[in-house]
Structure 1
Amino acid sequence: MMTSFGAANTAIFGDPKLQIQGFNGLKSSGLIPLHRGFHGVSVSSSNSSVVRAVSTPVKHETTAEPKRSKVEIFKEQSNFIRHPLNEEMLNDAPNINEAATQLIKFHGSYQQYNRDERGAKSYSFMLRTKNPCGKVPNRLYLVMDDLADEFGIGTLRLTTRQTFQLHGVLKKDMKTVMSTIIRNMGSTLGACGDLNRNVLAPPAPLARKDYLVAQETAENIAALLTPQSGFYYDVWVDGERFMSAEPPEVVKARNDNSHGTNFPDSPEPIYGTQFLPRKFKIAVTVPTDNSVDILTNDIGVVVVSDDNGEPQGFNIYVGGGMGRTHRLESTFPRLAEPLGYVPKEEILYAIKAIVVTQRENGRRDDRKYSRMKYLISSWGIEKFRNVVEQYYGKKFEPFRELPEWEFKSFLGWHEQGDGSLFCGLHIDNGRIKGTMKKTLREVIEKYNLNVRITANQNLILCGIRHAWRRPITTMLAQGSLLQPRFVDPLNITAMACPALPMCPLAITEAERGILDILKRVRAVFEKVGLKYKESIVIRATGCPNGCARPYMAELGLVGDGPNSYQIIFAVTQRKYDFAQIWLGGTPNQSALAKCFLNKVKLQELEKVIEPLFYHWRRSRNSKESFGEFTNRLGFEKLQEWVEKWEGVPKLSGKFSLKLFGDKETYQVVNELAKLQNKTAHQFALEIIRNYVAAQQNGKSAE
């Protein structure tokens, strides 16, 4: 006996708060069903309920209409994401209406306004490109550089998903900017909105089979899940198509409907009229390489090779996601978990089956719970796997064992393996501006280099001849693009979202404040005796949505409320002083942090981190990271240290040294300190601490 869709959802979601509202097949409301056919399967559940409706049956006329969010109605009435956006872009207003504001996200843009300015809102648009694997052809980089100056705010931003963001584009210039990107090997289609976002992969241009397969797979997945109905080209280039030829295996996988995944005769065979319940994120990588934060994605794909290094298939993780809502415990960040293994020729079909499972069952009534992580959290991985297997058409093989993950930055100079070099450049917060922007353009243009964007907001210059290394190094140094050994280790792993002044969701500073926070953390490191080479992963976001993935950090700062206004560097900044502090992530991005303290004033950050860093230095195990240390000790002990802290104990009197006996000594020490970007006092104190440590170690040896 078939169950009704509503009953099926109730059986699946034991927690009423997380019950999926049946959304599809709403004939009485005029909705086009997400799935026109009925595909019955049998799925066992932990509570012995039997769910037989995997896809959506036609809704009975007597059944009450389910709730649905306003965004679902906008999508339904848009004729595949065209209207009223098309009409809104043609009028003279500086902004667009609510429906168009939601729809333009599918085109890769967000409407914003400058929140530093008072009075009438000055609207503009942020554009985000879509660059699978972070690949950016030479021509596209130069075009984006030009657009930033001519139509943006003079800067480019590298995102945590290996794409560009272009800020400050006025509505009247949008069509010019969009069409220019499209005509120059770029796209913004699907960079935002309720569909698959940019697909991540390790950015290193290594001529290794596993890396090449990972990158090719990421590109194929991106092509498979790219919208097909043409709305993007209709709005921005008057219907002219600029789609490159797709591999035949991608076309075949998209068109396959042998297991009821597709909408027959629809312009969007995978997405239908309603697309997905919420954004969807996928990353592909190779064993050990966690440069893409693999466990934070809806789907994580890992290349599995045989003993000869020949790729054979893929491990698949599912259910990761960072977003949450403050003080709402039913929302949470979550790590992806193993689903299974598939042979390499089956990966596109497996990905499609997972996406369709979320399309059919993800919540569409409350967007806070629409990500796939909530579906898996409520169903459990076994039930989720059983449903996916109906769309995949076969059982997943057991997950293959993997080695430990490592964070790889790819900074500095490296051999590509094909006779060329690549050079990874650290970019603070991914913001390319000023002299750095000018220098990068000169190098990329002069040597005709392609580039790649990393998931840590950095840039890689590719295909460099050995003879070019010296002149390029000189040019980069003149543009303040330093080799990694000259960059503070704290800065190398730090990330922050743009936040204020443009992001409408931000409630605190992030990008504009993190460099100051890093300096303050470095000062505390020096105060408690930690060495300069010591580092922890620090990430900051202006709201709980987690765009810079703060819930994976060893020290995560999440904006949590306003306090005052300040003028900093002659720029009016809305200064927000409250943050949540999250602890417990690990350097290899394999553990989820937990909220340690709520509503911490950033002015008082040192009162929290000073005792933690002091005890970490004194009580850690060999090679134990800060995140591992906080997890081992537990929050109760950490809070006790913070509450009882009275400051760093002073050095014993017999080691007390006068810092500077005369002006000449101070001047010499000051010059040496400048080489390490320190003050004379900081440098002198470090020498003293090293001296004390050496004396103490000597006594221990005796």
Structure 2
Amino acid sequence: MSEKKLAANEGIKIRSNYLRGTITEGLADLSTGSMSEDDQQLLKFHGTYQQDDRDLRAGRRKHRLDKAYSFMIRIRVPGGVATPQQWLETDRIATQFANGTIKLTTRQAFQFHGIIKSNLKRSIAEINQAAMDTIAACGDVNRNVMCNPNPYLSSVHAQALKIAQDISTHLTPQTKAYHEIWLDGEKIESSEEDHEPIYGKTYLPRKFKITVAVPPSNDVDIFANCLSFIAIAEEGQVVGYNVAVGGGMGSTHGDEATYPRLADVIGFCTPEQVVDVAEKVVMIQRDFGDRTNRKHARFKYTVDDHGADWILAKLNEYLGYELQPVREYVFTDNGDRFGWVEDERGQFHYTMFVEGGRVLDTDDYPMRTGLREIAKHHQGDFRLTANQNLIIANVSPESRPEIEKLLEQYGIKGSHLRSGLRLSSIACVALPTCGLALAESERYLPKLITNLEETIEDAGLRHDSITIRMTGCPNGCGRPFISEIGFVGRGPERYNVYLGGGHAGQRLNKLYRQDVAAGEIQQLLSPILHRYAKERNEGEHFGDFVIRSGYVAATKQGGDFHSNIKSDAYASA
């Protein structure tokens, strides 16, 4: 039987000369604001996507104009920790080259939108001058490594953060193309060839996502990622990490072969083994991932195709030693802790709510200006959370009054005085810039929550945390398939509605209603929320209640974090 044909992207990577392609020539061609189709794929490895403003498409088409092309740039922030100076530089670049806003992503990265091609190289160069980079922020490689920004356990967090940064450094592509194209690095002679010791010439079959979590908080959603490390701490020291493999959110409407999947926890390793384990898991995906069908190319399908036991055996083989048995751990939630928190060292951390992760100024809320002024005085760091919020971290007792004064002056102090539903929300960018979006997300979810707040106020649920997430398509960038209430765009102003995810991100939700008009969502959910308020057991979360009450069936048995049961609900989605 003949072998399957490789996916088109594999050929692009093979021909690219380690991600160079014709990007340099394309950037120099200012007769158009776009890049060639092959180079658009390669640009992702360098941290940027070509996009266009879909709000303007019809008008420009009417006048026979090209699309309003621009580029999104994503900055890697391993572990989500940035210095005040890096914040100031990010803010400056947003003004000088982008659309005047900063997007905090669900993977603890900075994101710019609206950068035109003539400013693309300079933007990336100046990002690097600020001791940050964009390489591998996108593309078929390991993406930004996430780490729980737990403000309570600073000593443990510091150890976990170091691990996340070490993984990120080790798995960064070695090609010199990034420095040649964007930083005017010296070009290699044609007789020489780059070497990618981990990825090889064709890199990975698809993107790869890694997280590090510090229980009891699962705010990085480890079960939704390809590879995760769960810190096991004893007396303030991390003694090792449980290893979880095979999570992923993306699916395709109407394609039964695509589905969200929760990760399996397969073993335990010491801190010294983590980077080695990460490398070998990536190599397994490199060697056994599907390169013929990109919809089946994520690591979750490799794990499903071969089984978690096979993955563990193959990992032990690649390592040359065996992982230890899984250690006990408990996750209790996947939300952020808002307001001031004092850690074990006496340092203070202020977590603020950033709706949709969009940092901008409005007439009545100059948030971006306020954060700029805080960065000028702050001596600690900034921590991006996986829920698109921001922590002004490591504030000394002496500096706290000054920071508090600025929080008050710019209206940030009350940012978290919102409903529990709003504070537990995530939205992807979607329209107008994402080319995959079928419906609104970032621009619509705040309005929907405002409508739902009428219901929760009436039901007495204002302070209850119910995770609610919306994405404009089923690719799952906002991790909607593990939220207690999830919305996935199907078309303009229409969504699939999912219920029953685990409050700690440990259980998939399930399709409740398909193709619901946006204007009907409040009416659909209000009776369920009222019933929850009246009939819930003490301490019962909304996701558990809707399963107990029969609105949807459970997708996992017994709440066992170590098992994985795929939900047939996604086949009909």
| TM norm structure 2 | 0.90
Look up the match of 1:216. Answer: 162
Spell out, residue by residue over 1:228-264, the C-alpha distance to the aligned partner (whole angstroms, 9 max, x if none): 12111111011169xxxxxxxxxxxxxxxxxxxxxxx
Shift of 1:205: 5.5
Shift of 1:629: 0.6
User: For the Cα contact (< 8 Å) 2:150–2:214, is it kept in 1?
Assistant: no
Spell out, residue by residue over 1:627-665, the C-alpha distance to the aligned partner (whole angstroms, 9 max, x if none): 101111223699xxxxxxxxxxxxxxxxxxxxxxxxxxx
Look up the match of 1:427. Answer: 354
Q: Which of these residues, 99, 104, 107, is aligned with residue 158 of structure 1?
A: 104
Q: Which of these residues, 16, 39, 45, is aligned with residue 106 of structure 1?
A: 45
Identify if the C-alpha distance between structure 1 residues 614 and 205 changes in structure 2 by more than 3 Å, giving closer, same or farther: closer
Shift of 1:600: 0.5
User: For the Cα contact (< 8 Å) 2:335–2:424, is it kept in 1?
Assistant: no
Shift of 1:466: 1.9
Shift of 1:89: 1.3
Shift of 1:169: 0.4
User: For the Cα contact (< 8 Å) 2:500–2:552, is it kept in 1?
Assistant: no
> Given the alignment of the two structures, is residue 400 of structure 1 paired with residue 400 of structure 2, yes or no?
no
Query: Separation in 2 of the partners of 1:211 and 1:240?
Result: 38
Identify if the C-alpha distance between structure 1 residues 295 and 224 changes in structure 2 by more than 3 Å, giving closer, same or farther: same
For 1:203, the aligned partner's letter is P
User: For the Cα contact (< 8 Å) 2:423–2:465, is it kept in 1?
Assistant: no
Q: State the SS of the aligned residue for 2:475.
A: coil
Query: Separation in 2 of the partners of 1:113 and 1:157?
Result: 17
Shift of 1:267: 1.3
Query: Separation in 2 of the partners of 1:532 and 1:416?
Result: 28
Query: Separation in 2 of the partners of 1:608 and 1:293?
Result: 27
Look up the match of 2:251. Answer: 324
Query: Separation in 2 of the partners of 1:337 and 1:524?
Result: 37
Query: Separation in 2 of the partners of 1:309 and 1:326?
Result: 45
For 2:359, the aligned partner's letter is I
Look up the match of 2:469. Answer: 539
User: For the Cα contact (< 8 Å) 1:124–1:168, is it kept in 2?
Assistant: yes
Shift of 1:400: 0.9
Look up the match of 1:691. Answer: none
Shift of 1:586: 2.4
Q: State the SS of the aligned residue for 1:311.
A: strand
Shift of 1:520: 1.0
For 1:91, the aligned partner's letter is D
Spell out, residue by residue over 1:607-637, the C-alpha distance to the aligned partner (whole angstroms, 9 max, x if none): 3102211221222222211110111122369
Query: Separation in 2 of the partners of 1:552 and 1:220?
Result: 28
Shift of 1:465: 2.6
Shift of 1:447: 3.2
Q: Which of these residues, 108, 111, 115, is aligned with residue 169 of structure 1?
A: 115
Query: Separation in 2 of the partners of 1:458 and 1:420?
Result: 20
State the aligned residue count: 537
> Given the alignment of the two structures, is residue 278 of structure 1 paired with residue 278 of structure 2, yes or no?
no
Shift of 1:419: 4.0
User: For the Cα contact (< 8 Å) 1:405–1:590, is it kept in 2?
Assistant: no
Look up the match of 2:529. Answer: 613
Identify if the C-alpha distance between structure 1 residues 498 and 347 changes in structure 2 by more than 3 Å, giving closer, same or farther: same
1:628-643 paired onto structure 2 within 5 Å: 628-635=544-551
Q: State the SS of the aligned residue for 2:223.
A: helix
Shift of 1:524: 1.8
Unaligned runs of 5+ in 1: 1-62, 242-264, 562-575, 639-702
Look up the match of 2:260. Answer: 333
- Runs of 4+ deviating beyond 6 Å: none
Look up the match of 1:97. Answer: 36
Identify if the C-alpha distance between structure 1 residues 313 and 449 changes in structure 2 by more than 3 Å, giving closer, same or farther: closer
Query: Separation in 2 of the partners of 1:271 and 1:636?
Result: 42
Q: State the SS of the aligned residue for 1:512.
A: coil
Q: Which of these residues, 426, 440, 454, is aligned with residue 385 of structure 2?
A: 454
Q: Which of these residues, 329, 338, 350, is aligned with residue 411 of structure 1?
A: 338
Query: Separation in 2 of the partners of 1:231 and 1:266?
Result: 9
Look up the match of 2:496. Answer: 580
1:449-598 paired onto structure 2 within 5 Å: 449-483=380-414, 486-527=417-458, 529-561=459-491, 576-598=492-514
For 1:488, the aligned partner's letter is S
Look up the match of 2:566. Answer: none
> Given the alignment of the two structures, is residue 230 of structure 1 paired with residue 176 of structure 2, yes or no?
yes
- Aligned-pair Cα RMSD in Å: 1.9
Query: Separation in 2 of the partners of 1:609 and 1:501?
Result: 27
1:51-90 paired onto structure 2 within 5 Å: 64-90=2-28
Look up the match of 1:146. Answer: 92
Moved more, 216-225 or 617-626: 617-626
Q: State the SS of the aligned residue for 1:218.
A: helix
Query: Separation in 2 of the partners of 1:607 and 1:629?
Result: 19
For 2:306, the aligned partner's letter is W
Kindly indicate whether structure 1 or structure 2 has the higher relative contact order, using CA contacts under 8 Å at least 6 residues apart. Answer: 2
For 2:80, the aligned partner's letter is G
Spell out, residue by residue over 1:39-62, the C-alpha distance to the aligned partner (whole angstroms, 9 max, x if none): xxxxxxxxxxxxxxxxxxxxxxxx
Query: Separation in 2 of the partners of 1:70 and 1:472?
Result: 52
Query: Separation in 1 of the partners of 2:529 and 2:418?
Result: 21
Identify if the C-alpha distance between structure 1 residues 624 and 205 changes in structure 2 by more than 3 Å, giving closer, same or farther: closer
Q: Which of these residues, 501, 504, 518, is aligned with residue 602 of structure 1?
A: 518
Identify if the C-alpha distance between structure 1 residues 86 and 214 changes in structure 2 by more than 3 Å, giving closer, same or farther: same
Spell out, residue by residue over 1:126-167, the C-alpha distance to the aligned partner (whole angstroms, 9 max, x if none): 000001110112221111101111111110110000010011
Shift of 1:552: 1.1
Query: Separation in 2 of the partners of 1:182 and 1:240?
Result: 16
Query: Separation in 1 of the partners of 2:106 and 2:255?
Result: 25
**Structure of greater Rg:** 1
Query: Separation in 2 of the partners of 1:231 and 1:205?
Result: 38
Query: Separation in 1 of the partners of 2:155 and 2:93?
Result: 36
Q: State the SS of the aligned residue for 2:174.
A: coil
User: For the Cα contact (< 8 Å) 2:249–2:481, is it kept in 1?
Assistant: yes
Look up the match of 1:688. Answer: none
Spell out, residue by residue over 1:338-371, the C-alpha distance to the aligned partner (whole angstroms, 9 max, x if none): 1111122212211111111110010011111100
Query: Separation in 2 of the partners of 1:425 and 1:514?
Result: 19
Shift of 1:418: 3.5
User: For the Cα contact (< 8 Å) 1:202–1:285, is it kept in 2?
Assistant: yes
Query: Separation in 1 of the partners of 2:435 and 2:412?
Result: 31
Unaligned runs of 5+ in 2: 188-192, 555-573
Query: Separation in 2 of the partners of 1:86 and 1:125?
Result: 16
Spell out, residue by residue over 1:150-202, the C-alpha distance to the aligned partner (whole angstroms, 9 max, x if none): 11111011000001001100000011111000111110110000000000101
Identify if the C-alpha distance between structure 1 residues 345 and 471 changes in structure 2 by more than 3 Å, giving closer, same or farther: closer
Look up the match of 2:375. Answer: 444
Identify if the C-alpha distance between structure 1 residues 103 and 390 changes in structure 2 by more than 3 Å, giving closer, same or farther: same
Q: State the SS of the aligned residue for 1:511.
A: coil
Equivalent pairs: percent with the same residue? 36
For 2:89, the aligned partner's letter is V
Look up the match of 2:77. Answer: 131
Q: State the SS of the aligned residue for 1:437.
A: helix
User: For the Cα contact (< 8 Å) 1:139–1:185, is it kept in 2?
Assistant: no
Shift of 1:310: 3.0
Identify if the C-alpha distance between structure 1 residues 438 and 384 changes in structure 2 by more than 3 Å, giving closer, same or farther: same
Query: Separation in 1 of the partners of 2:425 and 2:154?
Result: 28
Query: Separation in 1 of the partners of 2:164 and 2:553?
Result: 44
Look up the match of 1:184. Answer: 130
Query: Separation in 2 of the partners of 1:637 and 1:212?
Result: 40
